[in-house]
Amino acid sequence: MSSTQKHGLDNRVWQPVPGWAGGEFFPIITKPGFACSNSYLIDTQYALIVIDPGADPAQTDLINRTLAERPATAGRPVLVVLTHCHQDHSQEAGAITLTAGGPNLLFAEASGADALQNGDRERTQAEMFPEHPAVSTRRADVRLFDAAGDGERVLCDVGSLELRIGAPCYSGPQLPLCQSIAVGGGNYLHFYRTPGHSPCSICIQAGHLLFVGDLPFAADPGLAGINGWSQADLLRSLSSVKHVMHQQNIRVCCPGHGYAIPAEAMHKMLTAMKEAASSLEQVDVMDLSRVAMLREFVDELLEEAEYLFAVISGRLYAVSFHLTSLEESAEAQRFSGALDINGIDRVLSGFRAFHAEFRAAEQLGLSLVIKGVQTARAIERMFEAPKLQAVLEASLLRRATRLLSDYVTLVLGLRLAGEPTPDVNLVLGELVHGLDIRNLDGEAFIDSADDPEAYLMGLVARLAFPPAFRDVRIEFDGGAGVGGVSLGADRLGDLAMTLLESVAGAGNPHITVRSRREGDRIRIDIGGAMIGQALSARRFDLSNRILAPHDGRLEFSNPADGGECFVIDLPAVDHLPY
C-alpha cells in the first residue's frame, strides 16, 4: 500500500472503478477543511467525468492537466457533475476545459442550477467565505430532477457514445429518487436525490463507488442550520442512502471532504449522523448575522477556556517539576509518560493558536467556526483520559469540557440547557469542601506507601491541589430555606468556582461564601477584604450571558459589614424534584 493510499484508494492515481467493465478514476483528496472540496475524475473510455471541481484554481489546473494527459481524448465529452451547489464544490465549474474534447456539459440538481445561474450568494454559501469569492454563474446543461424535463432524452451523440439520460424514478423500495445516464461500455452513472444538507444535494453511484458529497457531515456543528438545510429531508436522505449502499453493493464511499470511507464504516457514520440530526428540531439559521453574534459570545468562551487550559498546563508541569525536586525522578518520568504532557501541551497550544486566529480575523468565516469545533472535540477526547482525570480535580476538567461543549452547542444553533439546581446550598457546600486541602485523605495516602501506583497518585493529588487555595480559608454560610434555581448545578458550580479563584487571586486569605433568600430571589455573595478588578470585563460579561436566560445577573457589591464581593442574583424556583 502506498503512503497516499487510504481504505484501498490511492490519492491522485488512476485506478479501476470497482464494479465497472473498464473505466478508471482519479481521486483528488484535498487537505481537510471546508475551503475547497475533493474532486473525483472518471475516465469511462468514452467520456471524461469531473465530480465536484472545487474552489481552488490550482486544483482546477491539476484537473485540466490530468484530463489532457488521458489517451484518445479527442472528441470525448466532458461531464462536470456537482453533488451540490455550495461554493467550495462549484466555484470552478466554469473553468474545467479540455481543448481536444467534445461537448462540455454541467450537471446540477435543478434548484442548485437556479442558485448558480442567479448568483445566489446565500444558497451557494458564498457569503460565508471571508474572501468574498464570485459565484460560478455557468448555466447547467443538464438539470437533474427537473419537473419541467422529466422525460428520457438524448443529451448528445458523439461517435460511438450516445449520452442518454433516463427519467427520474424510484428503482426500489426505500430508495431515493434516481436518474441514470449511460456513459459507455455498458456502464452507468446513477444520480440519487438526497436533500438535507442543501435542497440540491445528490449522491452519485459509479459501480461499487458512491460519491456522497457533504451528506456525512450535514448534522455537524457549523453545517446544521445553513441556508437550505432541512432536518426532515436529511433524516429521510440518511435512511435512503443506507438502503442504496446495501442494495447496490457499495464498497467505498467518497465524501466531499476527507478520505474515502469503507461502506461498513460509512453505514455506522450515517447511523450516528441520523441520531445526531434527530435532536436538531429547532436549530437557528447559520447565516452572517448569527456568525456575528457567535463572534462576541464565543470570544468570551474562548478566553475563559484559554485561562483554564493555562491552569491545566501549569498544574501538569508543576507536578512533574515538584516530583523531580523531591527526588522522585522515576515517578516524575512515569507521570510524564503516562499523561504525555508534551502531547497535551501541543493540543492546547493548537487551541491557543486557533483562539489568536479567531480574534485576529476581520470577518469570521464559517471554516474558522468549524475549525474551532474540530479543536474543541480533540481537546474533549484528550480530557477523557483516566490518568488526566486522576491528576486534576474533577471540577477543573468539568469546567473546561463544559466550555468546549457550550461552544459546540452554540455553533449548532441550540440553546444552552441543563437540569435545574434543587438545592443551592448543597452545590456551594460541596464546592467549598473540595477546596480545603485538609479534606484530602491523609490516612489513605500513608497506607498506600506499599503500592507504587496508589502512592504516586496520592502524591500527585497533593502536588496538583489548586495553589490559589493552599493558604486560603473559605467560610461558607448557607442560609436557611434557600431552595433551588433554574440554572443547572454544573454551571452554578462553575460560576462560583470562577469567582472564588478570582477573589483568592486578588490576595484574600479569608473568603466568605454566603447564600440567602430575599423574597422570590436567591442571593449568593462571594467576597473578601478587597477584590478590585479580580475578574476581567470579558469574563464578567460571559458570566452575565450565562445567567441572563435564567433572569439572573452578576453584580459587584460593598457589604455593610465591610469588604467587597461578587453577587450572583437568581430567581428562586421552588418544588424542584430531587
pLDDT in tens, the chain (578 residues): 344 555 568 999 999 999 998 999 999 999 877 789 999 999 999 999 999 999 999 999 999 999 999 998 888 999 999 999 999 999 999 999 987 778 999 999 999 999 999 999 999 999 888 778 999 989 999 999 997 766 677 776 666 677 788 888 887 778 899 999 999 989 999 999 999 999 999 999 999 999 999 999 999 888 899 999 999 999 999 999 999 999 999 999 999 999 999 999 999 999 999 999 999 988 888 887 777 777 666 666 667 777 777 777 776 766 667 667 766 666 666 556 555 666 767 776 777 777 677 667 655 566 666 777 777 777 777 767 666 665 566 666 777 777 777 777 777 777 666 778 999 999 999 999 878 754 444 444 445 455 655 555 555 555 554 556 778 899 999 999 899 999 999 889 989 988 998 998 888 999 999 999 999 999 999 999 998 777 888 888 888 988 988 899 999 999 888 899 999 999 998 744 44
C-alpha to C-alpha distances, 552 to 303, 555, 572, nearest whole angstrom: 22, 10, 10
What is the pLDDT, as a whole number, of residue 390?
58
Q: 3-state DSSP call for residue 221?
A: coil
The b/e string for 179-218 (b: 16+ C-beta within 10 A; e otherwise) is bbbbbbbebbbbbbbbbbbbbbbbbbbbbbbbbbbbbbbb
Q: Which residues of 468-484 are buried (b: 16+ CB within 10 A; e: fewer)?
A: ebeebebebebbeebbb
Q: Is 136 helix (H, G, I), strand (E, B) or coil?
A: coil
Backbone CA torsion sign across 282, 285, 289, 291 = positive
Q: Which of 131, 57, 197 is nearest to 365 (CA)?
A: 131
Q: What is the pLDDT at residue 248?
A: 94
Domains of the chain, by residue range, sit at 5-277, 287-417+449-466, 420-435+472-578
The C-alpha cell at 237 is 436522505
Give the E-state strand segments of 31-103 in sequence order.
39-43, 48-51, 78-81
SS3 content of the chain, % helix, strand, coil (to 5): 45, 20, 35
CATH of 5-277, one of 3.20.20.140, 3.30.470.20, 3.40.50.261, 3.60.15.10: 3.60.15.10
pLDDT value at position 484?
93
> Tell me, what's the pLDDT at 458?
55
pLDDT of residue 330: 64
Contact of 8 with 260, CB cutoff 8 Å:
yes
pTM listed for this prediction: 0.74
Name the residue type at position 19. G
- DSSP letter at 550 equals G
DSSP E strand stretches across 17-124: 24-28, 39-43, 48-51, 78-81, 104-109
Nearest C-alpha neighbor of 155 from the set 104, 203, 91:
104
In the CATH scheme, what is the code of domain 420-435+472-578?
3.30.565.10
DSSP β-bridge partners for residue 478: 515
Residue 226: beta bridge partners?
286
Give dist(CA 71, CA 51) in Å, integer: 20
Cβ–Cβ under 8 Å, residues 396 and 311 = yes
Residue type, position 494, single letter: D
